[in-house]
């Protein structure tokens, strides 16, 4: 595979890691994009030094050709994938050991909710009613 193909694959995989695998959904947060914009700026500088001074050189046959700050445009996807995977993992690790936040999304939570519906009673009904607002606000 060419660098272009691998870079596209990595970017898609990173998006899937954030949305499906780790369910951190950082890509929907302005915190992520603000941090990424800052990292991108410094990436262009450091990568520009490495590529511009030919510390690293690329085979023209495996890249599209256009360059940004001396580095192949593929490096943008490479960097995006690395930053997204890292930050998603970082946030996921921070979620461990605290009450389930995305209760409405997790399979086990859905099973619990279904089980609760299957045996309704005054206690369950009141619990469900009181939990509704919390549930909605805690999905992000």
Between residues 97 and 118, which has the closer beta carbon with respect to another protein?
97
For residue 121, the minimal CB distance to another protein (Å) is 25
Residue position matching structure tokens 């490495």: 50
Between residues 100 and 120, which has the closer beta carbon with respect to another protein?
100
Between residues 89 and 124, which has the closer beta carbon with respect to another protein?
89
Between residues 53 and 119, which has the closer beta carbon with respect to another protein?
53
For residue 46, the minimal CB distance to another protein (Å) is 5
What SS3 class is residue 112? helix
For residue 98, the minimal CB distance to another protein (Å) is 6
Cα torsion angle, 108, 137, 14, 42, sign = negative
CB 79 within 8 A of CB 43: yes
What SS3 class is residue 71? strand
Cα 94 to Cα 112: distance, rounded to the nearest angstrom: 24
The site for another protein (CB under 8 A) is made up of 2-3, 6, 10, 24-26, 28-32, 34-35, 38-39, 42-43, 46, 49-50, 53-59, 62, 79, 82-83, 85-87, 89-95, 98-101, 134, 137-138, 140
Other CB atoms within 10 Å distance of the CB of residue 126: 10
Closest residue by Cα to residue 58 from 42, 46, 70: 70
């Amino acid at each position: 595979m060419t660098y272009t193909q691998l870079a596209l694959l990595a970017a898609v995989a990173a998006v899937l890691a954030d949305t499906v695998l780790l369910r951190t959904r950082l890509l929907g947060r302005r915190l992520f994009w603000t941090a990424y914009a800052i990292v991108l700026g410094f990436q262009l500088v450091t990568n520009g030094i490495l590529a511009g001074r030919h510390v690293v050189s690329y085979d023209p046959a495996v890249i599209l050709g256009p360059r940004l700050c001396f580095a192949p445009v593929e490096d943008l996807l490479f960097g995006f994938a690395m930053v997204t995977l890292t930050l998603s993992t970082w946030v996921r690790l921070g979620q461990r050991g605290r009450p389930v936040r995305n209760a409405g999304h997790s399979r086990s939570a859905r099973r619990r909710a279904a089980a609760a519906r299957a045996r309704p009673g005054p206690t369950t009904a009141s619990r469900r009613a009181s939990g509704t607002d919390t549930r909605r606000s805690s999905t992000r």
